[in-house]
Structure 1
Amino acid sequence: MRTIIFDAFSGASGDMILGTLISLGADGEKVRTVIESAVDVSVRIGQANKKGICAVDVHIGVDHEEHARHYEELVDIVRNAGLPARVEHSALAVFELMAKAESKVHGESLEELHFHEVGQNDALADVIGSCFAMHEIGADGIYCLPINVGGGRVKAVHGSMPVPAPATLEILQLTGLSFYGSGNRELLTPTGAAILGHFARPVENYPKGKVLSVGYGAGDADTEDPNVLRSTLIDTEDDLSRDSIEVLETNVDDVTGEVLGNLFEKLLSIGAKDVAIVPATMKKGRTGHIIKVITRPEHSAAIAREIMRETGTLGIRVIPTKHRYTADRRMDSVRVVIWGKAYDIPVKIAEDHNGEILHISAEYEDCKRVAKELNLPLKDVIRKVEEKAWNIHGHDDLF
């Protein structure tokens, strides 16, 4: 029931996340060793005083000028770094988030995409080190309070743009992290947003519990408030996590299946947690549908507007709920051998705060790729992957 809460009241960057995790309890020497063995950099871990707050200051030294990298180059560097499987998977997921954001902003495919600042060795070091430190602490749940993104303008490839930077804003959309703007400079970087976005789920307040440890990571900025990222390790009391949701519901008739199918995908893309469309008999015996959507309160208005635009309904019922219980989710990877060929397949593991595994599911797209390559039924590949994952993470006697 150990939970990390990030409080980014002065923003977040890769080195700030790395510093706060070391301050929170991750082994700094192990972090240094992992980074320096994976990336051609030097790591210096020290202390900085930021407006009276003592914080861990991590400096990544790069000896030579670097060129922009393709996304696939970054993937190869991470895969060839010899990282623990969970750290490698997390680092790849963080860079995938940044790649999707940059791809959308610049209108380039992932194959064409060049990384500039976020593709340099110091960014690689921040991501790999933060992923290792996160797993080193081994929290049962990771959450983030609303993030201060700063204000003013930031330099972009073709001039300047308002804060948050375009890529940062896309990452915030992809991950659903809550944020606000205060100040006159950029405080949240794309790297910081992607690391927090991969690991943490948004919360509005601290959960009930007891503080085990507090960490501070120093930033480079000189701001009116201490430029630090605070993290708190809390012993929470619930076995399951909670989050706040609302249920939106409306009845529609005279709406085609094609329109409803398109609506389903649209709602998921703008923040819906779940969508259900149920056939129903309406007044005067007409056939219709009940549309139900589960979402966070801050997304309700946008989702209600989209349902009205797409279906023509004139009203959306909002059914408030106190909260919902959710399992903590993490990703891992298992290696399976099928017909003499080895495959590393990601799996999603759901568990409570005590570490009891509630469910394991293999990633659909990866299993589909293997099934197609070997001309096997998809269900057989999924079953083999999940059995292997349960044998590693669960109990052998389940199968």
Structure 2
Amino acid sequence: MKTLIFDPFSGASGDMMLGTLISLGADQNIVRETIESTADVSVAIDKVNKKGIMAVDVDIIVAQESHSKHYHEIVDIVLNAKLPKQVEKDVLQVFEILAKAESKIHGKTLEELHFHEVGQNDAIADIVGSCTAIRNLGPEEVLCTPINVGGGLVKAAHGLLPVPAPATLEILKEGGLSFYGNGKREMLTPTGAALLSYYSKSIECIPHGKAISIGYGAGKADIDNPNVLRSMMLDVDEPIATDLVEVLETNVDDVTGEVLGNLFDKLLKMGAKDVAIIPATMKKGRPGSIIKVITRPEDSPKIAREIIRETGSLGIRVLPTKHRFVANRKINTIDVDIGGQTVQCRIKVAEDKNGEIMHISAEYDDCKELSLSTGFPLKEIIRKVEETSWVTYLKN
């Protein structure tokens, strides 16, 4: 799978996005022509050395100073630019992400919203150019490693505020992107955040694959470390998705089955991905249990605390886990004939990244209700539902 990966160890901005995508192989003539036909700017593309790394530097030269624009003005500019339909859609949605964040921060409707920095011609050029470049590269998937947002203070309409800026933080939250702070200045701009949020899915580590091309886009500031946005196009050869998990484990004794059963249900409701309670023989021959929980790293502290509260355990082990392989799962409903009557039953479908079906299982609760209402044995209901599901999916 042709996968575009952004690796923003030094943050991201609109011009850095443009630079890294051109460095990666996007057609700079197409990008330049599209930008210059949309905004009243000219585009200069060069290479610069940023602390020992050669990177593409994109300079948006504004023909004349323009006033900052209202959101509806930007929408009109994009609609009148006659961009390719997919690029037009992308640009409008990136600006919508920015607009919704600003709207929430300032307490104004989209109709009232007045952009400042992102309403200038150079910001419009950055977004139009980046959207054009990504479509030109044509990745099948776009991923993003955790983003360095920087540190210190940033000048905002409300005065000096901690990094990340309010709009940037709102975009990160809505986009579900992983980030961290390292540095003494703002490293991630709202424009960079909006582009990454719109196109990419957050990952904790780079997937297994072979590099097709590598790009570096230069930021304008000179800092202690290379101020570049790295990107890479990978031929990813793992069709099964991965996610990051931690395994929590503890041994307990003198805990009743009722307490363990209640803990089992409670941990699942708190977000644990899986819970196992395994009978064990403890020291001095006492009967006990091993509690093992698979959870997201960010949920580990609250899960561990609840285990201690409920069982009296004095310590929870965190087993080192890089990541796990997971199938993409979805719930569908299928029509099935049971005793001459057509009924509906939910099924779980597991697929790899390419959409190939790996497994189908009947939803237990639905099958149990069908067994009670029809009188057929539960195992027959499950068998019939799964056989019908496979036949239906193979036909499609």
Contact 2:154 2:162 (C-alpha < 8 Å) held by counterparts:
yes
What does 1:1-399 correspond to in 2, within 5 Å?
1-244=1-244, 251=265, 297-298=297-298, 322-326=324-328
Distance, in Å, in 2 between the alignment partners of 1:299 and 1:124 is 39
Question: Secondary structure of the equivalent of 1:82?
Answer: coil
Q: TM-score scaled to structure 1, two decimals? A: 0.66
Q: TM-score scaled to structure 2, two decimals? A: 0.66
1:147-197 superposed Cα distances (whole Å, 9 cap, x missing partner): 111111110112110111111111110111111111111110000000011
Distance, in Å, in 2 between the alignment partners of 1:195 and 1:357 is 30
Identity percentage of aligned residues: 58
**Regions of 4+ moved over 4 Å:** 249-252, 299-305, 351-354
Distance, in Å, in 2 between the alignment partners of 1:106 and 1:55 is 36
Q: Which amino acid aligns with 2:136?
A: E
Count matched residues.
293
Contact 2:3 2:142 (C-alpha < 8 Å) held by counterparts:
yes
Contact 1:8 1:146 (C-alpha < 8 Å) held by counterparts:
yes
Uncovered stretches (5+) of structure 2, i.e. residues with no partner? 248-262, 274-293, 311-320, 330-350, 358-394
1:222-273 superposed Cα distances (whole Å, 9 cap, x missing partner): 11001000001111112353333689x9758xxxxxxxxxxx9xx9xxxx9x
Contact 1:243 1:326 (C-alpha < 8 Å) held by counterparts:
no
| Alignment CA distance shift 1:212-1:167 (3 Å) | same
Distance, in Å, in 1 between the alignment partners of 2:192 and 2:171 is 10
How far off is 1:76 after superposition?
Answer: 1.7
How far off is 1:68 after superposition?
Answer: 2.2
Uncovered stretches (5+) of structure 1, i.e. residues with no partner? 253-263, 275-293, 309-313, 328-350, 359-396
| Alignment CA distance shift 1:299-1:129 (3 Å) | farther
Q: Which amino acid aligns with 2:327?
A: Y
Q: Which amino acid aligns with 2:216?
A: Y
Q: Which amino acid aligns with 1:325?
A: A
| Alignment CA distance shift 1:130-1:352 (3 Å) | farther
Calculate the aligned-residue CA RMSD, in Å.
3.3
Q: Which amino acid aligns with 1:46?
A: D
Contact 2:153 2:161 (C-alpha < 8 Å) held by counterparts:
yes
How far off is 1:138 after superposition?
Answer: 0.9
Distance, in Å, in 2 between the alignment partners of 1:16 and 1:104 is 26
| Alignment CA distance shift 1:165-1:89 (3 Å) | same
Distance, in Å, in 2 between the alignment partners of 1:212 and 1:353 is 20
Contact 2:8 2:147 (C-alpha < 8 Å) held by counterparts:
yes
Distance, in Å, in 1 between the alignment partners of 2:356 and 2:62 is 42
How far off is 1:85 after superposition?
Answer: 1.5
Contact 1:210 1:234 (C-alpha < 8 Å) held by counterparts:
yes
